[in-house]
Chain A
């Protein structure tokens, strides 16, 4: 918990991103040191996943809310950016209509739906990438936390939330491009999407955002608010009998976390060039939880490391053995839960007794955590019902 460790992670992120950027732009394609656009694109994508992982870790690792729907907030941020990029296509679309995106013309629409207004402006889209996930999370959280929905029940409704959005965004009449989503983007703020320098710039911006998100999360978890959050994770009823209102604490961190996921999604879309409803797929949210479990729940650098490592593995494995990925992911989760319950960073920090933020050893992790949440619920339910 020294000032040094406070800055190591963001510095590593920025330095690695800078090196990749220099080797990409500053060396000829023939050079042995050259980093291809493909690699830069991958790095940018991983950094967006890292932001999603940080968001998941804040609520799961620190506040004990096992979210199985965080990719929904990521996708909403992505859609906000996708709408800007779609408007930015302008008259360069197939139908050469500057007023309406191609898919709307295809559907026979005459006017731009009201909720598309403003998205032609980049700052508006960025604000929406924060506000839409934030507001949805705040409303969802308000009702869920106020009625003390917790544990697996909350996990299940977060999963239902993302699934409901998946189905909704599949519909053409929602006005977000239905099944196909939005793609074929031309440029962002005037910079051509396909160009090497644009990709590198996006990757560097993602690195800066990830570093800032890390610093922000570090500040939050280090504050007294963060201590209450961890206390709530460990013994929620105790915080309540001390006079804290866990529902408000959860609501604050849940909403901030959704906004962070939204930024990740907004930066993700221009780098992968497409946004469609598959981003809402429940499996995506579960994968994000696995990244955090692998890297180390309750450690911020672990969340970033887990996101990068697991996705690196995914890239390599899906290249070498397509189809094997899901088995590998499932196997990884089981292995980590059994042999590395604190994740990579958590295990490395194990001996450091001063690190008070980590979930303690007798607190179950991963799948076991889900089980124990269930057991807790049964117990507290029984306690309420049981006379005396």
Chain B
């Protein structure tokens, strides 16, 4: 395998020649993507294009058969598991809102706050003033201040999505992976979410997987089109929309 040029100093995520096969099905096929520090990238593609598998590989849920996945300057993600990768500063939001339903909004954020994750710490941990302050600030950001004592189970779908984004922020990640954040949201919630993501992008790099073209347009960022496990096209939304190959496999259908 030819050795590709290494990531530059302002690259936060670098995938090169990544392959993953499930039972003979090539989910990821020689995939190479470079994400700059501070960049927000939208990833689109038809079902089965490998978007979720790509997320799984970056977050350590799935191990690639071949290829390099590098975070920051030189951290090889292919050798690490989910908690280790999360602790590096990569947060992941699932498509279906995944929050701790039987905890309050407050406790959801408290558990997500960056800090010691070991059992010997949590057995004795007391809530500190700094933690209280951070949680309050997060509640403000995700507009759930008045819901702080409600159980997450009792939130609306949109509020759960926001809470989950708040939990990601609490982790203080450098890179956020967001899987279909506006699925099932109302139009105004979708708009607010686009705002929120742009806000977040001021300080962190973001990868958004999305089907909703209006939302991708609202984000106004570089788009990567995946097809059959590799990059089909890359550029502005207008650029990729005009790409005949993209029209053929995805947009035109």
Q: A225-B123, A240-B86, A361-B153 are known contacts. Are A388 and B100 too (CB-CB below 8 A)?
A: no
* B102 and A357 contacting across the interface, CB-CB below 8 Å: yes
Q: What are the residues of chain A within 8 A of B61 when measuring CB–CB? A: 237, 384
CB contact list, A305-358 vs B, under 8 A: 353-354, 356-358
* A388 and B101 contacting across the interface, CB-CB below 8 Å: no
Please measure, in the bound complex, the distance between the C-alpha atom of A225 and the C-alpha atom of B28, giving whole angstroms: 38
Q: A248-B119, A356-B104 are known contacts. Are A237 and B48 too (CB-CB below 8 A)?
A: no
Please measure, in the bound complex, the distance between the C-alpha atom of A234 and the C-alpha atom of B150, giving whole angstroms: 16
* B122 and A224 contacting across the interface, CB-CB below 8 Å: yes
* B23 and A385 contacting across the interface, CB-CB below 8 Å: yes
**Which listed residue (B49, B103, B108, B150) contacts A353, Cβ 8 A?**
B150
Give the interface residue-count category, chain A: 35 or more
* A252 and B151 contacting across the interface, CB-CB below 8 Å: no
A220-255 CB mask vs B (1 if < 8 Å, else 0) is 100111011011011101111111110011001000
Please measure, in the bound complex, the distance between the C-alpha atom of A248 and the C-alpha atom of B83, giving whole angstroms: 12
Is B166 an interface residue when CB atoms closer than 8 A count as contact? no
Q: A242-B86, A244-B83, A245-B83 are known contacts. Are A234 and B102 too (CB-CB below 8 A)?
A: yes
CB contact list, B171-225 vs A, under 8 A: 171
Q: A356-B151, A384-B62 are known contacts. Are A240 and B83 too (CB-CB below 8 A)?
A: yes
Q: What are the residues of chain A within 8 A of B253 when measuring CB–CB? A: none
Q: What are the residues of chain A within 8 A of B108 when measuring CB–CB? A: 231
The chain B residue sitting closest to A228, CB to CB, is B122
CB contact list, B124-163 vs A, under 8 A: 124-125, 149-151, 153-154
Is B51 an interface residue when CB atoms closer than 8 A count as contact? yes
**Which listed residue (B22, B102, B125) contacts A230, Cβ 8 A?**
B102
Is A264 an interface residue when CB atoms closer than 8 A count as contact? no
Please measure, in the bound complex, the distance between the C-alpha atom of A225 and the C-alpha atom of B50, giving whole angstroms: 36
Is A78 an interface residue when CB atoms closer than 8 A count as contact? no
Q: A224-B122, A248-B119 are known contacts. Are A235 and B99 too (CB-CB below 8 A)?
A: yes
Please measure, in the bound complex, the distance between the C-alpha atom of A362 and the C-alpha atom of B154, giving whole angstroms: 10
Tell me, rounded to whole Å, the shortest Cβ–Cβ distance linking B243 to chain A. Answer: 20
Is A371 an interface residue when CB atoms closer than 8 A count as contact? no
Q: What are the residues of chain A within 8 A of B77 when measuring CB–CB? A: none
Q: What are the residues of chain B within 8 A of A237 when measuring CB–CB? A: 61, 82, 94, 98
Is A108 an interface residue when CB atoms closer than 8 A count as contact? no
* A354 and B149 contacting across the interface, CB-CB below 8 Å: yes
Is A387 an interface residue when CB atoms closer than 8 A count as contact? yes
Is B112 an interface residue when CB atoms closer than 8 A count as contact? yes
Is B39 an interface residue when CB atoms closer than 8 A count as contact? no
Is B30 an interface residue when CB atoms closer than 8 A count as contact? no
* A243 and B111 contacting across the interface, CB-CB below 8 Å: no
Is B42 an interface residue when CB atoms closer than 8 A count as contact? no
Q: A243-B87, A244-B83, A353-B150 are known contacts. Are A387 and B22 too (CB-CB below 8 A)?
A: yes
Q: What are the residues of chain B within 8 A of A376 when measuring CB–CB? A: none
Please measure, in the bound complex, the distance between the C-alpha atom of A365 and the C-alpha atom of B131, giving whole angstroms: 34
The chain A residue sitting closest to B124, CB to CB, is A223
Is B91 an interface residue when CB atoms closer than 8 A count as contact? yes
Most chain B C-beta atoms within 10 Å of own C-beta, residue among A224, A357, A384, A385: A224
* A243 and B117 contacting across the interface, CB-CB below 8 Å: yes
Tell me, rounded to whole Å, the shortest Cβ–Cβ distance linking A232 to chain B. Answer: 9
Q: What are the residues of chain B within 8 A of A385 when measuring CB–CB? A: 22-23
Q: What are the residues of chain A within 8 A of B101 when measuring CB–CB? A: 234-235, 360, 362-363
Tell me, rounded to whole Å, the shortest Cβ–Cβ distance linking A354 to chain B. Answer: 7
Tell me, rounded to whole Å, the shortest Cβ–Cβ distance linking B152 to chain A. Answer: 8
The chain A residue sitting closest to B209, CB to CB, is A388
Tell me, rounded to whole Å, the shortest Cβ–Cβ distance linking B77 to chain A. Answer: 13
Q: What are the residues of chain B within 8 A of A220 when measuring CB–CB? A: 123
**Which listed residue (A241, A362, A384, A387) contacts B153, Cβ 8 A?**
A362
CB contact list, A122-179 vs B, under 8 A: none
Please measure, in the bound complex, the distance between the C-alpha atom of A224 and the C-alpha atom of B121, giving whole angstroms: 9
Is B234 an interface residue when CB atoms closer than 8 A count as contact? no
Q: A223-B122, A244-B117 are known contacts. Are A356 and B98 too (CB-CB below 8 A)?
A: no
Is B241 an interface residue when CB atoms closer than 8 A count as contact? no
Q: What are the residues of chain A within 8 A of B78 when measuring CB–CB? A: none
Q: What are the residues of chain A within 8 A of B45 when measuring CB–CB? A: 388
Q: What are the residues of chain B within 8 A of A225 when measuring CB–CB? A: 119, 122-123, 125
B50-66 CB mask vs A (1 if < 8 Å, else 0) is 11110010010110000
* A388 and B53 contacting across the interface, CB-CB below 8 Å: yes
Q: What are the residues of chain A within 8 A of B99 when measuring CB–CB? A: 235, 238
* B167 and A387 contacting across the interface, CB-CB below 8 Å: no
Most chain A C-beta atoms within 10 Å of own C-beta, residue among B23, B51, B112, B122: B122
* B107 and A356 contacting across the interface, CB-CB below 8 Å: yes
Please measure, in the bound complex, the distance between the C-alpha atom of A245 and the C-alpha atom of B84, giving whole angstroms: 9
Is B47 an interface residue when CB atoms closer than 8 A count as contact? yes
The chain A residue sitting closest to B86, CB to CB, is A243
Q: A241-B59, A353-B154, A360-B153 are known contacts. Are A227 and B52 too (CB-CB below 8 A)?
A: no
Is B229 an interface residue when CB atoms closer than 8 A count as contact? yes
Q: A225-B122, A238-B99, A244-B117 are known contacts. Are A387 and B53 too (CB-CB below 8 A)?
A: yes
* B50 and A231 contacting across the interface, CB-CB below 8 Å: no
B29-44 CB mask vs A (1 if < 8 Å, else 0) is 0000000000000000
Tell me, rounded to whole Å, the shortest Cβ–Cβ distance linking B249 to chain A. Answer: 14
The chain B residue sitting closest to A220, CB to CB, is B123
List residues of A whose CB falls within 8 A of some B CB. 220, 223-225, 227-228, 230-231, 233-235, 237-245, 248-249, 252, 353-354, 356-363, 383-388
What are the 3 A-B residue pairs with the smallest beta carbon separation, nearest first? A387-B27, A243-B86, A360-B153
Q: Jot down 9 A-B pairs with beta carbons below 8 A, ordered by A.
A: A220-B123, A224-B111, A225-B123, A227-B111, A227-B122, A240-B83, A241-B82, A362-B101, A386-B22
- Beyond the given pairs A225-B125, A234-B103, 4 more chain A to chain B contacts, judged by CB atoms under 8 angstroms and listed by A's residue number, are A223-B123, A231-B100, A240-B83, A242-B167
